[in-house]
Amino acid sequence: MFATAWLGRRSSVRLSPGAAEALLVHAWPYNVRELQHVLDVASARAADGVIRVEHLPPRIGARLRERARDVDAAPVPEAPVPLALIVDRAAASPSADELRTVLEHYRGSVALAASFYGRDRKQIYRWLERHGLDPDRFRDPDT
């Protein structure tokens, strides 16, 4: 909210999507004053009026780089047999075994299971409840 208000006062300055994400994921230990200072310095560095990640202090972009590394380092494992051969995605409702197989493949990610079935996450949660399955059971405890 503050960044939007601050940018509104400086109509010639915009945030790139990467810079906006970096600002959102930073913890801001010094709160609004730190944010205002970072935006003031970054806007001075942004010659074309667009604040990018490289205009922000390195500590702000560090969290964004950590997140990108984490995503790249943890690929979804391939199933030994393609899921499409095991699971009938066109069925009105999957069996408990089929749902279990999909959750194991996607490490308990309800969002990825929903994408696989082409359904909303709410529907996946309904199926989980119907079959007495807990998605946390399929997640890696170290993540």
- In this predicted model, what pLDDT tens digit does every residue of 67-108 receive, in sequence order? 666 544 445 555 444 555 456 656 678 888 888 888 888 888
pLDDT band at 26 (very low <50, low <70, confident <90, very high): confident
Fold of the CATH domain 2-73: Helicase, Ruva Protein; domain 3 (1.10.8)
State the average pLDDT for the chain.
76
Burial class (CB in 10 A: 0-12, 13-18, 19+), 17: exposed
- φ, ψ of residue 109 in degrees (nearest 5): -80, 110
- Whether the per-residue pLDDT at 116 is higher than 60: the answer is yes
pTM check: above 0.85: no
Q: Check residues 17 and 65 and name the one with the higher pLDDT.
A: 17
Higher pLDDT, 7 or 138: 138
Q: What is the mean pLDDT of residues 121-138?
A: 90
Radius of gyration of the chain (CA): 22
Between CA 104 and CA 101 the distance in angstroms is 5
Residue 14 contacts residue 50 (beta carbons within 8 Å): yes
pLDDT of residue 128: 92
Q: pLDDT band for position 121 (50/70/90)?
A: confident
Cβ-contact 113, 102 below 8 angstroms: yes
Q: With 80 as the cut, is the pLDDT of residue 63 above it?
A: no
State residue 81's pLDDT score.
46
